[in-house]
Structure 1
Amino acid sequence: MNTNNPVKLLVVDDEPHIADLVATVAKYEGWQAVTAGSGEAALREASAFHPDIVVLDIMLPDLNGFTVLDRLRESGTMVPVVFLTAKDGTADRIAGLTRGGDDYLVKPFSVEELMARLRAVLRRSTGPAWQHSVLRVADLSLDEDTREVRRGDRLVTLTPTEYELLRYLMRRSPGVLTKAQILDHVWEYDFGGKSNVVELVISHLRRKLDTEAEPLIHTVRGVGYVVRQAAR
């Protein structure tokens, strides 16, 4: 996302009054916003509009939101996605995050809270203006300028949330971070104990980084998580 240009938001919901409300509020914020009422329409808009972030309803009349996200990822885009769900159930939340979503909100929702969530996700996706540096732990490297993550010579593709969590762990390595510290830094609000979101994202990072090499992401039982080489 170019921070000199307005944020481009795609709102996908089959209830026009919800989609229009979110788009209208976003436009008052100075953003550009377009809406789509189905999964196929969402994919067409995403291809033409190139959004910086997407609000995506799970229950759509054709493709569901999870399938839309899969199609977006298959096309090569890592655009941040915030899911909307009508069910306050763990299964939907876990499914959304497991499929590569960056956040979720349960209907009915506050538009003000949604906008706050969107701003938080955008901060994670663009990152603060750190002085250029490359973080390294063993053969794991994270370039804060290019946002490239590599395990050895292998380039690893991460979602904005996965990237921000990994960067936080690497910046504090070899220190151990608690779940509360991670929630406060990465998500900037409290999930109230309703979700194992930290464990889910840590699990994704382990699959992407540690499956084919020496594990670097460790759980310190009763404390939290750390990125470091195992003691020999």
Structure 2
Amino acid sequence: MTPPPEPAARILVVEDDAATASEIAACLASSGYAPECSGDGEAALALALAGGYDAITLDRMLPGLDGMQIVRALREAGSETPILMVSALGDVDDRVMGLRGGGDDYMIKPFAPDELMARLEVLLRRHRRARTAETTLRVGELQLDLVRHEAHRQGRRIELLPMEFRLLEYMMRNCGQMLSRRMIFEAVWGYYFDPGTNLINVHVGKLRRKVDGPGEAPMFSTERGVGYRLDAT
């Protein structure tokens, strides 16, 4: 496994099963990370909101608050900490719910330690790139501040949820290109595409309504059965 950069990344392990928590923590520690464990939902949320963690592994079934309540509370509070959900709930609906709720990736128990580390390393690399890349994207009238996590169109501020922000960033970076639902799902959600999900349709629809305001020239276009495109006006 690829060793992490120094200083060691701090990982919050949220898991109420002591054996699983110990397994994850041992895996992280052996790779040079600094794990901290919490087995209670409310306590874990308080720790996560206090900040200082580079990533979080999060179980769905927890006492106090469940994993979905935790991830939603963090995203609503503006936290961009990468979250890898680790759960025995492995149905497609469960995975989609976890990703839609704000998780960055979703892993099903039982898991292979090497795969858990690989997925976590991907999330950490993606998060580091986002923090060190260019600070502003511009497409026509649309501007996206990557530091402040704000979007504006002709001076009008566009309120975005964290996943909407990531979706808009991806489409702006690929301006003028027709993007398939598979491309969007795997690039933004980082998970293997399920052709039966309407997740992309829902998120693109909400984002389109926010970006293309009343009286403004539409920037989003759809080609049925092909995908979506963002164009400069």
Q: Does 1:226 align with 2:232?
A: no
Question: How far is 1:155 from its partner?
Answer: 5.4
Instruction: Identify the residue that residue 94 of structure 1 maps to in structure 2.
Output: 96
Aligned equivalents of 1:182 and 1:10: distance in 2? Answer: 28
Question: How far is 1:9 from its partner?
Answer: 0.9
Instruction: Identify the residue that residue 56 of structure 2 maps to in structure 1.
Output: 54
Aligned equivalents of 1:127 and 1:181: distance in 2? Answer: 20
Q: Name the Cα RMSD after superposition.
A: 3.1
Question: How far is 1:80 from its partner?
Answer: 2.2
Aligned equivalents of 2:210 and 2:34: distance in 1? Answer: 34
Instruction: Identify the residue that residue 151 of structure 1 maps to in structure 2.
Output: 152
Q: Secondary structure at the match of 1:150?
A: strand
Query: What percentage of residue pairs aligned between the two structures are identical?
Result: 38
| Contact residue 14 and residue 59 of structure 2 kept, 8 A | yes
Instruction: Identify the residue that residue 219 of structure 2 maps to in structure 1.
Output: 216
| Contact residue 98 and residue 200 of structure 1 kept, 8 A | no
Q: Could you say if the C-alpha distance between residues 209 and 122 of structure 1 is closer, same or farther in structure 2, counting changes exceeding 3 Å?
A: farther
Which residues of 2 match residues 30-49 of structure 1 at below 5 A? Answer: 30-48=32-50
Instruction: Identify the residue that residue 64 of structure 1 maps to in structure 2.
Output: 66
Q: Give the alignment's TM-score, normalised by structure 2.
A: 0.78
Aligned equivalents of 2:11 and 2:90: distance in 1? Answer: 24
| Contact residue 149 and residue 165 of structure 2 kept, 8 A | no
Q: Secondary structure at the match of 1:177?
A: coil
| 132, 136, 139: which one aligns with 1:137 | 139
Q: Could you say if the C-alpha distance between residues 172 and 105 of structure 1 is closer, same or farther in structure 2, counting changes exceeding 3 Å?
A: same
Question: How far is 1:34 from its partner?
Answer: 0.6
Bigger CA drift: 216-225 or 32-41? 216-225
Q: Could you say if the C-alpha distance between residues 73 and 143 of structure 1 is closer, same or farther in structure 2, counting changes exceeding 3 Å?
A: closer
Which residues of 2 match residues 1-232 of structure 1 at below 5 A? Answer: 5-48=7-50, 50-127=52-129, 129-130=132-133, 132=134, 134-144=136-146, 146=147, 148-152=149-153, 153=155, 154=157, 156-159=159-162, 162-183=164-185, 185-186=187-188, 190-191=192-193, 193=195, 198-199=200-201, 201-203=203-205, 205-206=207-208, 209-210=211-212, 214=216, 215-228=218-231
| Contact residue 164 and residue 186 of structure 1 kept, 8 A | yes
Q: Secondary structure at the match of 1:127?
A: helix
Aligned equivalents of 1:166 and 1:138: distance in 2? Answer: 14
Where structure 2 has 5 or more consecutive residues not aligned to the other structure, the ranges are none
| Contact residue 156 and residue 209 of structure 1 kept, 8 A | no
Question: How far is 1:46 from its partner?
Answer: 1.9
Aligned equivalents of 2:159 and 2:174: distance in 1? Answer: 21
- Kindly provide the amino acid, as one letter, of the partner of residue 137 in structure 2: L
Where structure 1 has 5 or more consecutive residues not aligned to the other structure, the ranges are none
Question: How far is 1:184 from its partner?
Answer: 5.1
Question: How far is 1:185 from its partner?
Answer: 4.1
| Contact residue 82 and residue 127 of structure 2 kept, 8 A | yes
Aligned equivalents of 1:101 and 1:208: distance in 2? Answer: 22
Aligned equivalents of 1:187 and 1:41: distance in 2? Answer: 27
Q: Could you say if the C-alpha distance between residues 191 and 97 of structure 1 is closer, same or farther in structure 2, counting changes exceeding 3 Å?
A: same
Q: Could you say if the C-alpha distance between residues 212 and 99 of structure 1 is closer, same or farther in structure 2, counting changes exceeding 3 Å?
A: farther
Q: Secondary structure at the match of 2:90?
A: coil
- Kindly provide the amino acid, as one letter, of the partner of residue 114 in structure 1: L
Bigger CA drift: 29-38 or 149-158? 149-158
